[in-house]
Every structure is written in C-alpha cells, then in structure tokens.
C-alpha cells in the first residue's frame, strides 16, 4: 500500500481511476459531495474502489462533522448541528452535553457504516480565539481546552462505539489562524508556552486516538519557516513529543493554497516532515498520480500505526437508534431556539 489517501472525481469509478488504484494501492479514499448521489451508488463506489485496490482494509473517509461541514446532507444524510450546539449545552450541563454528543456520533457512525464508510474526519479539537478567522468558528466544541477535550472525546468514543474511526484535527491547532488555509497560509505568533497551555491541550488529552490530521499553519515560536504539516520540528517536538500522539498522522489536503510548490513536492514534504500519510482530495487524476509518485510504500512504524488504527474498527456496540434520533432532535431544536433568540 502507498502512503496516500486519495479523492475520486465523480460518482462512479472511471477506467483510468481503476487502473490508478490498482497500480498505486493507496491506503485510503476520501469522499466528497461530488461522489455522493444515492445510498446504493455510494456503496457501489466504495466496493468498486476497494476491489480495484484489492484490499478490504483500505480506509474510506468523509468529513461529517455537522453544521457547515457535512458531505452527506438531507436527503442522503441527517441534518446535524454544529459543534457549537453542544458547546452551548455544555455551559449549562456538561454531563448531558457529552452524552448527547456521544449519542449523535454513534448515530452518524451507524449511517456511515451502512454505506461502507469507516472513518470520519472529526472531531475538530481546535480552540478558537477572539479575532481568529471564522474557518473554525462554530465547528469548535468550546472556548476552553477542558470543554473541547471533553466533548471531543465524547464524539470520538461515539464513533468508535459504532466501528468508525475518528480523525482528530487539526493537530496541533488551527483555532488561532487569521486566514483560511484553503486559501492562504496562516501564521500564528503566539508564544510556545501559551500554545502548550491552550491550543495543544485538547490534542494532548486525546493523544490515544487512532488518527490525526495536521494543520497547514505556521507556528513561529516553533518553526518560523514551515507550516506544521511540513515541519519536522513541529512533528517531532510537538505532535509526537509534547502532545504525545502515537497514532497514524495524515496531512491536511495537499491541494490547499496554504502550501506552495507542485503537488509532488507537497506530498514529499509532508512525508519528510513526519506524516505517515499524505492526503489529496480534489480527484484530479494527474495530481493524484503526482502525489502517489512522491510518497513511499506504507512501511515500518507508519504501517504499524495504520494497522493499529484498522484494528480499532471493532464490531459496533449495540445502541438504540430511536433514542439517539430523539436526542439529536432535541439538540437541533435547542440550537434553532438559540439562533432565533440572538
């Protein structure tokens, strides 16, 4: 397997894509709205892609956070509240908020598993601050490290209860960014001690999770030249060292404008910096080929981390779907009422 998670162009696998998958054997796929037409079509696409690769242990990812970031929307998926809805409940009843967040994640996991999707790029553990770009905004589970960690863990464990792998993101933190890394390279000049106390803390609390996604953000206190995703210093000293994350580390999307250089150069850079896997999302076959050519086979410690993550796709624990739907409706109603009162 190749140290690459790749997107696909459309709702069906083209002959050229099938040949690419068979030849390069990426360790994962990621689905976007362009790939989603019906439940039967999604299941067929996942089966066809896995058959082309020739392995059942390939990860199939999606961004299904809720709120602004959910690829499966009605009628294909449920309406889901943003993380901020749980943050509001947590301010009044922390125990109830965590139980509700875990219940929603368990329900989403069941929906994803039914489609052949086994990995959700959530929860967001970023800690927003006043004046930051709103790219995180209501995707955050609160404004304190403890609250973000508590709700983030509830969500991650809800996914795991359903046999779906969570991806904590964007390690070591995107909350202070004053730019959207899809469009530009954010630079954070906060002192290291403050970052450690705040931004890094939720990731440290969830360092036992199987998967994490890096941030395309420069932290000048640690590396003035490179974003975290391409910085060996950030990976070694902060992500693996100070935070202590031991799972499979993937980059954020290589095609985001925060990065510079060719796609091949970007792919090589994230691997050289210590990511186990490069992530390329846009489904452009020429770029997929360039990324695949620039990354190695998944081997050694990186392979160990991959298979350790796969092993955590345990058989889903039983749950009461009707009760979970009722709880989700409660959160949606509460969120709508709060929005109307503003």
Digit-coded pLDDT (tens) for 72-92: 999 999 999 999 999 999 999
Residue 130 binned pLDDT confidence (cut-offs 50, 70, 90): confident
Q: Which helix (H) or strand (E) holds 91?
A: helix 83-92
Average pLDDT for 322-328: 96
Residue 312 binned pLDDT confidence (cut-offs 50, 70, 90): very high
Judged by average pLDDT, the poorest of 115-129, 142-156, 172-186, 208-222 is 172-186
Name which of 21, 59, 88 is nearest 289 in CA terms. Answer: 21
Contact in structure between 289 and 7 (CB atoms under 8 Å): no
Q: In the annotation, is 182 catalytic?
A: yes
pLDDT reading at 341 higher than 80:
no
Separation between Cα atoms, residue 5 and residue 114, nearest integer Å: 21
pLDDT reading at 295 higher than 60:
yes
Q: In the annotation, is 252 catalytic?
A: yes
Task: Give how far the C-alpha of residue 16 lies from the chain's centroid of Cα atoms, to the nearest Å.
Answer: 27
pLDDT in the model for residue 134: 85
Separation between Cα atoms, residue 219 and residue 198, nearest integer Å: 14
Q: Which helix (H) or strand (E) holds 199?
A: none
Average pLDDT for 227-232: 96
pLDDT digits (tens, 9 = 90+) for 262-289: 999 999 999 999 999 999 999 999 999 9
Q: What pTM does this model have?
A: 0.96
What Rg value do the Cα atoms of the chain yield, rounded?
19
Separation between Cα atoms, residue 296 and residue 186, nearest integer Å: 28
pLDDT reading at 154 higher than 90:
yes
The two tokens of residue 284 are: 């452009």
The two tokens of residue 14 are: 């083209």
The domains located in the chain, with CATH, are: 2-341 (3.20.20.300)
Separation between Cα atoms, residue 292 and residue 195, nearest integer Å: 34
pLDDT reading at 250 higher than 70:
yes
Task: Using the Cα atoms of residue 244, residue 246, residue 247 and residue 249 in order, give the sign of their dihedral.
Answer: positive
pLDDT in the model for residue 183: 82
Q: Other C-beta atoms within 10 Å of 292: how many?
A: 23
The average confidence (pLDDT) of the chain is 96
The two tokens of residue 298 are: 């998944």
pLDDT reading at 342 higher than 90:
no
- Of the candidates 182, 236, 304, 320, the residue annotated as catalytic is 182
Cα-Cα-Cα-Cα torsion 30, 83, 209, 319, nearest 10 degrees, comes to: -90
pLDDT reading at 221 higher than 90:
yes
Percent of the chain whose predicted confidence (pLDDT) is above 90: 91
Strands (E), the chain: 2-6, 26-31, 59-62, 64-66, 69-70, 119-120, 165-171, 187-188, 211-214, 218-219, 248-253, 277-280
Contact in structure between 192 and 231 (CB atoms under 8 Å): no
Q: Which positions ≥6 away from 256 have C-beta within 8 Å?
A: 181, 182, 183, 216
pLDDT in the model for residue 131: 83
Task: Using the Cα atoms of residue 238, residue 243, residue 248 and residue 249 in order, give the sign of their dihedral.
Answer: negative
Average pLDDT for 18-36: 98
pLDDT in the model for residue 132: 82
Q: Kindly give the residue spans of alpha helices, DSSP state H, lying in 135-272.
A: 145-161, 192-197, 200-205, 232-233, 263-272
pLDDT reading at 64 higher than 90:
yes
pLDDT reading at 161 higher than 70:
yes
Separation between Cα atoms, residue 48 and residue 42, nearest integer Å: 10
pLDDT reading at 181 higher than 80:
no
- Of the candidates 252, 253, 276, 280, the residue annotated as catalytic is 252
């Amino acid at each position: 397997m190749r140290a690459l998670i790749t997107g696909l162009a459309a709702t069906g696998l083209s002959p050229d894509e099938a040949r690419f998958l068979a030849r390069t054997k990426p360790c994962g796929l990621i689905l976007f709205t362009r790939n989603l037409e019906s439940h039967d079509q999604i299941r067929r696409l996942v089966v066809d892609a896995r058959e082309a690769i020739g392995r059942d242990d390939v990860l199939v990812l999606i961004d299904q956070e809720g709120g602004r970031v959910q690829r499966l929307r009605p009628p294909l998926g449920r309406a889901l509240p943003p993380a901020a809805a749980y943050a509001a409940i947590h301010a009044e009843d922390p125990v109830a908020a965590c139980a509700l967040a875990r219940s929603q994640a368990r329900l989403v996991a069941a929906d994803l598993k039914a489609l052949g999707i086994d990995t959700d790029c959530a929860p967001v553990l970023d800690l927003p601050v006043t004046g930051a770009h709103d790219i995180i905004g209501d995707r955050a589970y609160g404004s304190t490290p403890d609250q973000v960690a508590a709700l983030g863990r509830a969500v991650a464990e809800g996914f795991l209860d359903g046999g779906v792998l969570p991806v904590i993101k964007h390690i070591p933190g995107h909350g202070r960014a004053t730019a959207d890394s899809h469009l530009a390279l954010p630079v954070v000049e906060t002192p290291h001690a403050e970052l450690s106390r705040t931004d890094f803390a939720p990731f440290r609390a969830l360092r036992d999770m199987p998967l994490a996604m890096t941030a395309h953000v420069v932290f000048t206190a640690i590396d003035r030249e490179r974003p975290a995703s391409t910085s060996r210093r950030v990976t070694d000293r902060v992500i693996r060292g100070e935070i202590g994350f031991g799972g499979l580390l993937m980059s954020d999307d290589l095609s985001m404008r925060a990065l510079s250089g060719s796609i091949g150069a970007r792919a090589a850079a994230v691997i050289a910096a210590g990511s186990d896997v490069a992530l390329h999302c846009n489904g452009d076959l020429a770029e997929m080929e360039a990324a695949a050519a620039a990354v190695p086979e998944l081997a050694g410690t990186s392979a160990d981390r991959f298979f350790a993550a796969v092993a955590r796709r345990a058989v889903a624990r039983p749950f009461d779907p009707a009760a979970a739907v009722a709880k989700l409706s409660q959160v949606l109603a509460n969120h709508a009422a709060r929005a109307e009162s503003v």
